[in-house]
A and B are shown apart, each in its own frame.
Chain A
Amino acid sequence: MTLTTLLLLAAALIGIGIYGALSQQSFVMLMMGLEMILNGVMLAAVAFWAFSGAGVPEGQLLTIIVMAVMAIEMAMGFALVVAVFRGKQADMTESLTGLKH
């Protein structure tokens, strides 16, 4: 368990997350991709805190902030999904064409 292996794991999680967020058609699955990206970000932050930051407390605080961002993303995402579904009966990204040029 070194900084390099931890960062490689974080990179793998972020890569899977990017794939999920870009490829999924269902809004909820798309949000899981975003969560996966933040999962990798949190792991990388803790890894830097543990191996490279001499244990400064701000490193842990950053992880807490990312967790808060994650909760916000989840809550707002679900609220938007519900609002969109109510307005358009849609739960796929393809159904939303209102902003297409």
Chain B
Amino acid sequence: MNHGTGVDIAFLLLATLAVVTGWRVFRTDSMVRASFFLLVSFIAVGVIMILLAAEYLGVAMFFMMAVEMTVMALFMVMFMMNPAGLNPMNMVHQERISIGAGVVGFLVLGAMALFAAFPDQPVSASLDPVKSLGNEMLGDSMLIFESAGLVLLTTMIGVVVLSSHRGRYGAAAEGSLPPGLEPGGDPAGKPEEDEEGEDGGHQHHHHHH
């Protein structure tokens, strides 16, 4: 594939941006900032896709990730233990093993990139990538494409069922709670919820029975 020096420079900058922001995702103190770092990393990859002439995929990536990361940021606010990143946050376990696994993964995949002999068959200049993708999705691979849509519909239903407060015959969590220690009592094995409740924290918790 022929491309000028400008494309190479842009690729270098975008690659650096994607890796640095990707690394910052797990190093920043605020989970909201982490989700926006991930968004930047995805957008850099999307621009690289556009540089590779896959315009549709690159732009689809922008739209999808912009929405997805906004939703993610909302969830981050809900589950954030360190609002605004005011305190240092380092919530990791088995860190050495994880770093080792990440480095090994990078080295193995990188060695494949360096030493494997992949065929050199670049996209021909006459090909219209968007048109060929459209013909494929609504032609030979229509079943695959439609299956993806069906799986997404199933996901939506499953998500509503999973996150719903109540099932058809009572509380959704009823079957998954352990029985009480005495008949009709609170479920056993639940953590005491008033640990931090010296100043009336009881009102903040909702009990589902």
Contacts and interface: CB of A to CB of B under 8 A. Distances in A.
Nearest to A23: B98
A46 B54 contact: yes
A87 B173 contact: yes
Interface magnitude class on chain A: 35 or more
B113 A78 contact: no
A60 B101 contact: no
Contacts of A23: 26, 92-95, 98-99
A72 B154 CA distance: 9
A80 B76 CA distance: 15
A87 B177 contact: yes
B187 to A, nearest CB: 10
Contacts of A9: 15, 18-19, 48
B54 A60 contact: yes
A86 B187 CA distance: 14
A22 interface: yes
A54 interface: yes
Interface in A80-101: 80-83, 85-89, 91-94
A61 to B, nearest CB: 5
A43 B48 CA distance: 8
Nearest to A16: B22
Interface in B3-43: 3, 7-8, 11, 15, 18-19, 22-23, 25-26, 31, 34-35, 38, 41-42
Given A9-B18, A67-B64, A60 B98 contact: no
B188 interface: no
A13 B41 contact: yes
A79 B152 contact: no
Contacts of B51: 1
Contacts of A72: 151-152, 155
B84 interface: no
Contacts of B64: 67, 70-71
11 contacts: A4-B113, A7-B113, A9-B15, A18-B101, A19-B101, A32-B25, A39-B42, A57-B141, A61-B144, A65-B144, A75-B159
Given A15-B102, A78-B159, 5 more contacts: A1-B7, A15-B103, A39-B45, A52-B118, A78-B163
